[in-house]
Structure formats: C-alpha cells, structure tokens
Amino acid sequence: MSVKREDFKILSETRFEPKAIERGYAMRTMHVDVGSGAFTEKPVSEDMKKRFTGGKGFGLKLLWDAVRPTTKWNDPENEIVIGMGPICGNTNYPGSGKSLVVSISPLTGIPIDSNVGGYFGPYFKFGGWDALELQGKAVKDVVLFFDANEGQVQMLEAPAALGVDTHVLAEELTVAFSASEAERQNVSVVSAGSAAEHSFIGLLNFSLWDKRRGGVRVKQAGRGGIGTVLRDKRIKALVVRYKGVVQDSNKAADPALVQRTGLKLHREIIKNDDKQCKMRRQGTAHLMEVMNDYDLLPTNNHKYGRHEKGNELASWVWEKYFTQGLPDGCWFGCTMACAHAVDGFELKTGPYKGHKVCVDGPEYETAAGCGSNLGVFDPEGVLEINFYCDTYGVDTISFGTITSFLMECQELGVLNRERTDGIDLSWGNWKGACEVLHSMSRGERFGTLAGKGVKFLAGHFAKEYGADPQLMKDIALHGKGLEQSEYISKESLAQQGGYYMTNKGPQHDEAWLIFMDMVNNRIPTFENKAEALHYFPMFRTWFGLQGLCKLPWNDVEPADNAKWEEPNKVPEHVQNYCDMYTAITGEKLDPPGLIRQSERVYNFQRAFNVRMGKGHRVDDWPPYRAMGPVLEDEYLAREERYDKQMKEKIGVDPAGKKLAEKMRITREFRTRQYESLLDAVFKRRGWTMDGCPTPGHLKDIGMDLPEVLEVVNARIAGEA
C-alpha cells in the first residue's frame, strides 16, 4: 500500500530562513515541542561552542538544560537531541557523516549517547542547524518533516496506512517525500519500529537511499533505548529533504586542506585495507575469527570466549553473503565503506516470512551478540535476527545480551516453557530468539518482559522464580542498566575498566584495550592502565563531538605506523584529525587540545550522571561474569590459565585446593584488582574516590560552570 504526500495532514508548520554553514557551524539549533507543535530557533553562543565543541557536546548541554534531576525517560521534558558537529558532512575525510544522539535512557536513567551514520544528520545540518531537540509528547502519531532547502518544517499526522516497521516505513516515507525517483537520495528518515514500542531497547534507524540497490538502507543509533523514547513521544518518524551537498558544504576555512587530508586517507585505505582489516570487503565482521582465536568471542552469555564452530561465522562466510561487491558507505566519500548488506534474503519466520529483504549487516557486534553468544552458528539465523531487530527497531547488542541471559537462565532451570510462554530458549535455537523478538513486536507478555533488559530481569527472576539473587547478578551482563557489548572482558582488567568506567554503560566505543593489555602486555601497571583509561576514552569521545566515525582512526593504519613511539594511538591519524578541525573551523588544534575538548564534555557528562543521582563508584562496578569465572565449568574451561595466575600473580599454590576454593581466591583477587584500578583511574581523571569530578579539575579544564559546580559540590559535601 503506498502512502502519498497529500495523505499527511498538516498539524503545524513554520518556516525558517535557510542559513549557510560557516566554518562547520550554523550557530543555531532547532527545538521542536511535539506536544504543542511549536518549532523554535535557539542561538549557539561562542561560549557554548568553546566549551561543548559540537555534536554530543551540544546534545548533552541542551539535554541538561531541558531536564531536571528527577526527570524520567518517559517524562515529556526528556528530549532526544541529534547533534552533528563541525566536521560532520564533509565528503573528503572518510567517516564524516555521523550524528550523535542523546537522551535520558529508559535502561539507565542517565544520559545515553549513540553515534550513527546515514544521511539525516548531514542533511539536517546543511539546512543551517547544529542540533535538533525533540521534546514533549504528541497525542497521536506524528511525522516531522524538515525541508532543509526551503526552511519549511511541518508536524504531520501519520496516516493510518503508514507502516510501523522500519523497512516498510522508511521506504514509504522516502518515496512519499521525494519529488521523483531521481530525488530519493535527497531524503533521509529516522524511525524505530514495533518492538521499540514494547521494550526499553528501542533504537533509531537513520536511513540512506542506496542508489545502486534502488532501496533504503539503515544505520542504527542502537544503544540505550532512544527508539523507545521516540515512540513514547508518539513520533513515528523524522524526514529530512536536502539537495545540494557539495565538496565545501561546510564552508571550510581551508577547503584545499580538507581535500588534501581526506585524499591522503582515501589513498591509504585503498592501498592498505586489503592487507589490514578488509573493511571494504567484510566490514567489522572481519573480527569474528580473530576474536575466536584469542578466546575473546562471547559464547553462551560470555561464559566462554571460543567455540569449535566459531569459524562458521567467520569473515569469509559473511563475505560470501554480502552482495554487490562494491563500496558500501553510510555517508558520501567514506572509502572505508564498511556498511555491507545481504540482498534478497528470504525470511523464514515472523510476519514477513517468505519476503525477500535486504539485511543491513551483520556487523561484528551483531554476529557475535546474536550469533556465538546465543550458541547460534547458522549465519542465516544471525541474518534473520539482524533483520528483525533492525526493522522492529531494537538494538542487536542489548537484544543479544538479553537473549543470552535468558538462554543461560533456561539452562540453569530458572526458566522453563511455562515461564517463557512456550518459547524454547536452548542454546543455538535462533528461531527461539526470533520468537522473543516477534513477541516483543506484538507487545506480548514474555517479549515485553525481556525488553526491560537484564538488570530488571535478574531482579525479577530472583523475586518471582526464586533464582539465586547473587547468581542472577553475576551473569546479568550490564553496567548502569545498559547491556554489555560483545567482547569477553574477564581476562583483561583494563577492558573491564574500559567497559564499566564509562559514562553511559559498557559500550566499547570509549576504550578497547584488550590487545594492548592482555595480548601485548603494554600497560602492565595500574598507572599504565589508568593512563590508557584516561587517554582513549577522551580521544574517542572527540569523534562524537565532531560528527566522525571511529573506524577510519585505527581500522586502517599507515604502513609505517609501527615506527612511532605510541603506535596504538595511530599518531599520524591523530594529526589528520587536528588538521581537519583546523581546516574546517579555522582554529588551531594540537593533540593535547583535542583531548582537552573531549575532557570538557566527558566531565560534563559525568557530572550529568551525578546530577541524576548516579555517577557513584558503585555504578562503575561490573557483574562478575565480566571479571572472572562465575561457574565451575567456566573456571574449568580455563583452569590452566587461572591456576597459573593464582601461583604467579596471587602468590597462592593451587595444588591440592578444591575448585570452590580456587574460584573464591580468584574472585577475591580480581575484585581487589578492580578496586585498585578504580582508585588509579579516578585519580587520573581528576575525580573523587566516589567518582565525582572535583571543582578544581573542572576549573582546570574550563568546565567550572555554576550549574555544574552546584551539582558536584553538593555530591562532594554528601561524600564527606
């Protein structure tokens, strides 16, 4: 059923003067109150630009101003803010099409941030906006339409015939809002899906019209339930239309330097990628066999790190599934082009059974989280879960970690068919996983329950089914309420910190230190680890301030990268980023200045957590499954390693000791290690031992804003 432009009844409309971007900034943001249908323009001050830089920084600043310490995710004042950043939208430097979305998360109750590709962010930016705030709640389903060329914005009533699930909805909207077939690439849609309405793990799909495939593709702002917030606001979709992207849409201070820096990386990718990560052919799925080889591939709810069938999900398997064999970028000019897809995939379950669809991915996180971590080694099972997660609008990472938890609960006897409403959640049963998704999509009891996340489920199963509360807590892989992403962290103390000493919860986008720490032993002391847990989260935060993707930073490296003193930082690429920032904004930036920009926003986000009643030391604590072996067979699977560690690192001879005692000794040691790491990291970051930024540190980094000082002073007074 096709929906036409005239089927959308106008509820409110406004016109803004289109504004050209100047040196990467529009110096204004748009606020939409979907409750009243009011669209307003807010200026960006020089002070805001200096302190918050852009992207996630602007998003968090606007969100802070919008909410109160008591605001819950489903209060009308909670916002979804999409911020772009000054480098966003340039077409020369690979990975420059990202938007950063923030909101108060239904899973964590604190700000979540999610980095996403697709065309929406750059198109919206080029209408002359640095960020978009969505606040309030509509009384019925609405679509927000932004004509970025004309400056016309409309709140429209969603016609009853409009689809819900993204693969239908985004295509319908793209067709309805483009004047002709040739214009479809000028439209981008943000949407969620049916399961986002019944779970806390809803995501936002940002579309791009794939000209070669003649269809819509989607990239996800996956983490933390922002799609749930979207649907709670009764926003069905955002649609932007923009025509006219050119080399210098950002009106850079030095467009030739933008070209030169971008071209240098294009050439490096074209030359090196095939010998390095094969992103152009395989995308992030190239990691599958590497993780399996290093005992890091999450298997059966992160219990194990390797599986004999691991290679059934290896990169070469995915490469055969990926169609087209041509570059697949999520923004113009990204030669890393890792956004691969499987065309003509015939669905075997659910409401679209028998349909031939295009599956975006799988990326590594999905292949691991919805594959090996569920004991699923059938690639077509992974593709089916991948497709339904996307179209129903739920996060494959949270869904994978939730379902693996449910499967382990069935194995442990906590769940049975009666408690799962008849769904068989045996390891490897991908159809059972799909049933959970379909149940979530339909808003049925078990799917809705699952969609509340593992933190809730652990408590619920202990209370309702008499499960051992400590065991539930140990195997529910979340931090702050957010499900952990898909790397085994238990053998790398630094990565435990990388996951759990994060602002939003255990997502690998802040720090990925496993190889540095566990494999190459480059950061042996607590101080070394703390330095890495300062530098890398700050460095990686910067991508989110600018509208950049992390992948072109170190998923390709200069051929001579190893000759540099700190190759893990990829120094030449760090300099590229400084050059790009300077070329676009006209302001000088060096590597320490880059870190300082991030520190301001990072500490602001931590203070935001404090303001929302979180951000304590205890909030940075991992479940034990992320730190060490919870169960006997888990210990036995790596007995040799654990026994050796006991002798060499703990100084206790394991000989003659019973298994339970060895497990206790290991657990106590690892717990002490983590405490020491927390001390070292908090000290390095300029925080109190309870994890609160100190006023002195905030002053040093230029973030001693009165409203921030008020929050941290109150917390510190309480600590004393």
Strand partners, 80: 134
Cα dihedral 418/421/425/430 (nearest 10): 160
Strand bridging mode 28-33 / 38-43: antiparallel
Q: Does 212 bind another protein (CB under 8 A)?
A: yes
Q: Residue type for 300, please?
A: N
Which of 335, 541 has the CB closer to another protein? Answer: 335
The phi, psi pair for 280, rounded to 5°, reads -65, -25
- Binding mask of the shown chain, residues 615 to 654, with x at each position contacting another protein by CB under 8 A: ----------------------------------------
The gap from C-alpha 93 to its chain's centroid, in whole angstroms, comes to 21
Encoded tokens for 685: 């970051």
Q: Does 333 bind another protein (CB under 8 A)?
A: yes
Encoded tokens for 8: 């959308």
Q: Does 559 bind another protein (CB under 8 A)?
A: no
Which of 246, 618 has the CB closer to another protein? Answer: 246
Which of 32, 258 has the CB closer to another protein? Answer: 258
Shortest Cβ distance from residue 175 to another protein (Å)? 19
Candidates 332-340, 425-433, 603-611, 661-669; binding stretch for another protein (CB under 8 A): 332-340
Encoded tokens for 639: 């007995």
- Residue 266: Cβ within 10 Å count: 18
Candidates 141-149, 244-252, 297-305, 410-418; binding stretch for another protein (CB under 8 A): 244-252
Shortest Cβ distance from residue 246 to another protein (Å)? 5
d(CA 29, CA 341) in angstroms, rounded, equals: 34
What is the 8-class DSSP label of residue 561?
G
Q: Does 326 bind another protein (CB under 8 A)?
A: yes
Among 5, 211, 353, 355, binds another protein (CB under 8 A): 211
Using CB under 8 A, count the residues that bind another protein. 26
Distances (CA, A) of 192 to 1, 133, 221, 390, 502: 20, 17, 10, 8, 26
Which of 252, 518 has the CB closer to another protein? Answer: 252
- Binding mask of the shown chain, residues 172 to 191, with x at each position contacting another protein by CB under 8 A: -------------x------
Q: Does 21 bind another protein (CB under 8 A)?
A: no
Which of 95, 654 has the CB closer to another protein? Answer: 95
d(CA 395, CA 701) in angstroms, rounded, equals: 35
Distances (CA, A) of 351 to 347, 431, 441, 504: 9, 13, 10, 34
Among 60, 63, 235, 245, binds another protein (CB under 8 A): 245
Shortest Cβ distance from residue 596 to another protein (Å)? 30
Which of 279, 518 has the CB closer to another protein? Answer: 279
Nearest residue to 265 (alpha-carbon basis) of 546, 535, 570: 570
- Residue 326: Cβ within 10 Å count: 10
Which of 311, 323 has the CB closer to another protein? Answer: 323
Which of 86, 622 has the CB closer to another protein? Answer: 86
Q: Does 546 bind another protein (CB under 8 A)?
A: no
Strand bridging mode 187-191 / 99-104: unpaired
Which of 326, 660 has the CB closer to another protein? Answer: 326
Encoded tokens for 103: 């909101």
Among 29, 92, 114, 666, binds another protein (CB under 8 A): 92
Task: Give just the sign of the alpha carbon dihedral 548, 551, 557, 561.
Answer: positive
Q: What is the DSSP string of 184-245?
A: GGGEEEEE--GGGGGSS-B-EEEEEEETTTTEEEEEEE-TTSHHHHHHHTTEEEEEEE----
Which of 212, 563 has the CB closer to another protein? Answer: 212
Which of 179, 689 has the CB closer to another protein? Answer: 179
d(CA 62, CA 646) in angstroms, rounded, equals: 50
Candidates 26-34, 245-253, 306-314, 581-589; binding stretch for another protein (CB under 8 A): 245-253
d(CA 641, CA 270) in angstroms, rounded, equals: 41
Among 236, 266, 490, 715, binds another protein (CB under 8 A): 266
- Helix (H), strand (E), coil (C) string for 419-436: CCCCCCCCCCCHHHHHHH
In a 3-state reduction of DSSP, which class is residue 179? coil
Which of 90, 103 has the CB closer to another protein? Answer: 90
Interaction residues for another protein, span 413-472 (CB under 8 A): none
Strand bridging mode 28-33 / 131-135: parallel
Encoded tokens for 573: 């690429």
Shortest Cβ distance from residue 190 to another protein (Å)? 20
d(CA 92, CA 261) in angstroms, rounded, equals: 8
Shortest Cβ distance from residue 22 to another protein (Å)? 17
Residue 288 burial class via C-beta count within 10 angstroms: exposed 0-12, middle 13-18, buried 19 and up: buried
Q: Does 335 bind another protein (CB under 8 A)?
A: yes
Which of 266, 419 has the CB closer to another protein? Answer: 266
Strand partners, 383: none
Shortest Cβ distance from residue 212 to another protein (Å)? 7
Shortest Cβ distance from residue 320 to another protein (Å)? 20
The phi, psi pair for 355, rounded to 5°, reads -75, 145
Candidates 327-335, 512-520, 544-552, 566-574; binding stretch for another protein (CB under 8 A): 327-335
E-strand stretches of 577-716: none
Shortest Cβ distance from residue 247 to another protein (Å)? 3
Candidates 54-62, 169-177, 243-251, 632-640; binding stretch for another protein (CB under 8 A): 243-251
Shortest Cβ distance from residue 373 to another protein (Å)? 33
- Binding mask of the shown chain, residues 469 to 498, with x at each position contacting another protein by CB under 8 A: ------------------------------
Q: Residue type for 332, please?
A: F
d(CA 486, CA 96) in angstroms, rounded, equals: 25
Candidates 267-275, 293-301, 490-498, 648-656; binding stretch for another protein (CB under 8 A): 267-275
Are the C-beta atoms of 520 and 528 separated by less than 8 Å? no
Strand bridging mode 187-191 / 204-210: antiparallel
Shortest Cβ distance from residue 577 to another protein (Å)? 18
- Binding mask of the shown chain, residues 52 to 91, with x at each position contacting another protein by CB under 8 A: ---------------------------------------x
Among 267, 644, 664, 699, binds another protein (CB under 8 A): 267
Which of 210, 634 has the CB closer to another protein? Answer: 210
d(CA 662, CA 657) in angstroms, rounded, equals: 6
Shortest Cβ distance from residue 249 to another protein (Å)? 8
Interaction residues for another protein, span 246-265 (CB under 8 A): 246-248, 255-256, 259-260, 262-263
Which of 211, 647 has the CB closer to another protein? Answer: 211
Which of 493, 551 has the CB closer to another protein? Answer: 551
Nearest residue to 466 (alpha-carbon basis) of 424, 511, 412: 412
Give the interface with another protein as residue ranges (CB under 8 A).
91-92, 185, 211-212, 245-248, 255-256, 259-260, 262-263, 266-267, 269-270, 326-327, 329, 332-335
